[in-house]
Amino acid sequence: MNTPHYIAGRWAAGKGTDMLSVFDPSIAQPFAELRAASTGQVDEAVAAARQALPAWKNSAPDERARYLRGFAEAIDGQRDALVELQMRNNGKPRREAEVDIDDAVATFAYYADLAERLIEQQSRQVALAASGFSSHTRLEAIGVVGLIVPWNFPLVTSAWKIAPALAAGCTLVLKPSEVTPLIERTYGQIADQLGLPAGVLNIVGGKAEVGAALSAHSGLDKLSFTGSNAVGSRVMHSAAEHCRPVTLELGGKSAIIVFDDCDLDQAIEWIIAGICWNAGQMCSATSRLLVQQGIADALLPRLAEALDALRVGSPFDEEIDMGPLSSAAQWRKVSEYLAIGQEERLNCLAGGTPLERPGWFVAPTLYAGVPTESRLWTEEIFGPVLCARRFDSEAEAIALANDSRFGLVATVASADLQRAERVAAALEVGHVWINSIQVVFVETSWGGTKGSGIGRELGPWGLAAYQSVKHVTRCLG
């Protein structure tokens, strides 16, 4: 903990004024403390990345692929320790923490494969209508990138950014969340083990001061941010001042649409997974339930019973279904929304209160018949709070789902697959699941429309986000 920051291939003590307390949310007690980086150390990290860029950018793609596979293997080799740290610092149940590790491993392995294919993609000829000229495409690293990641899926969201950035030939400065500053240190440790060239990967931790310094830094060529809309707006403003590209993965208020031909048990499984995974602390949480009239009277009471029956507790209790919220600040925010639900006299079918016990726990909550003007219907809560409304027709369901300033994801549940595909095509979001829990594959894209962000991560689109396209055209005469 004395040297938590990784700059130019060396571990460094923090020189900032802030102290970062690392908490176990299941007991609301700190178990580690470290000093934040200073803005001067942000400068050092960016300078190190800038110095390392030419050699890394011009390195052979298969060499970069070798390092990426090394990251995948090293993460997998530390699986048990990383799972335990996720459980202790995030409050994730073991099975959820294990999925996160699998996700990070798969991400590095996938981008290792894409890095190798870059050899084939370079110097690709472009067909020209005019004669007497030839032209070919070069895909080049965009340069030095700043990466700012959140606390709800540490290690995962950073893998989604680090792996494609390194595959493209970029060098980077990573700023982890002050809530979960420990697990991303793993990437610096692996870089040491693999002999990654100094300055290619840098990690500086801290609070808002460090994030603002990185966002505003003139030495960056791109910013990639995952987090709240409020902070994302400031990050975008910083990017605009330097006229540089930005990827933003922001909030959501996503819908799950359940048609009346659904199997009740399956529908309840999908609904609960969409709102209670990671205690609802997901930008993709399907927190608006749209249920067709014909199934609503049967589904809503059974859903309330199922939510009430969920076992909420410490992630180290192997029998639990949902852990605590990850921070005191998030617990206060969710508690405030539960108070708003009481003030608005919403029909609460399950939960509705924080839990009276040590730690940052809230009960899985279901409100029925929530007005569309309610703050609980329109605002991102980031907790296990589900708001339900009924609908009659397919057109009404689509209109209700699209009536949001967000557009990240949606789920459609129906035995009529033609209808499900039709609805999926009409939804104004970046990813739709049909008759499924929210499984995310590295080969698919991630990102949204409207206020849910700019750009895409994962898949080949994630790699393209860190590439600059250059055309070389010459006269043949």
pLDDT in tens, 119-139: 877 778 999 999 999 999 999
Contact yes or no for 270/256 (Cβ under 8 A):
yes
Q: Are 92 and 282 in contact (CB under 8 A)?
A: no
475 counts as catalytic: no
Q: Where do the CATH 3.40.309.10 domains begin and end in the chain?
A: 255-441
- pLDDT-based confidence at 477, cuts 50/70/90? confident
Q: Does domain 255-441 have CATH number 3.30.420.40?
A: no
- What is the phi/psi pair of residue 411, to 5°? -125, 140
173 — pLDDT class (breaks 50, 70, 90) = very high
Share of the chain above pLDDT 70, in %: 100
419, 259 Cβ separation under 8 angstroms: yes
Q: Do residues 324 and 281 lie in contact, with contact meaning Cβ atoms separated by under 8 Å?
A: no
Which SS3 state, helix, strand or coil, does residue 376 take?
A: helix
Mean pLDDT for the stretch of residues 136-151: 96
Asked if pLDDT for residue 249 goes beyond 80, the answer is yes
Task: State residue 401 phi and psi, 5-degree precision.
Answer: -65, -40
pLDDT, average across residues 417-439? 98
Q: How far is CA 98 from CA 64, 68, 321, 349, 433, in A?
A: 26, 20, 14, 32, 22
Query: Is residue 249 among the annotated active site residues?
Result: yes
Q: Are 296 and 395 in contact (CB under 8 A)?
A: no
How much is the average pLDDT of 425-431? 98
Per-residue confidence (pLDDT) for residue 232, from 0 to 100: 95
When pLDDT is averaged across residues 84-88 and rounded to a whole number, the result is 97
Secondary structure letter of residue 280 according to DSSP: G
Architecture of domain 5-250+452-475: 3-Layer(aba) Sandwich (3.40)
Kindly name the residue from 116, 184, 249, 380 that is annotated as catalytic: 249
**Residue written as tokens 């894209």?**
445
Residue 365's DSSP bridge partners are 385
Which of the residues 283, 380, 387, 457 is marked catalytic? 283
pLDDT surpassing 90 at residue 372? yes
Positive or negative CA dihedral for 182, 183, 184, 189? positive
The helix/strand/coil state of 167 is helix
DSSP H helix total and E strand total for the chain:
15, 22
Q: How far apart are CA 376 and CA 46, in angstroms?
A: 41
Query: Which pLDDT belongs to residue 63?
Result: 97
Residue (of 189, 124, 127, 53) closest to 466 by Cα position: 53
Q: Six-digit token pair at 338? A: 């539960």
Q: Which whole-number Å values give the CA distances from 137 to 140, 466, 469, in the listed order?
A: 10, 16, 7
User: So what's the pLDDT on residue 453?
Assistant: 96
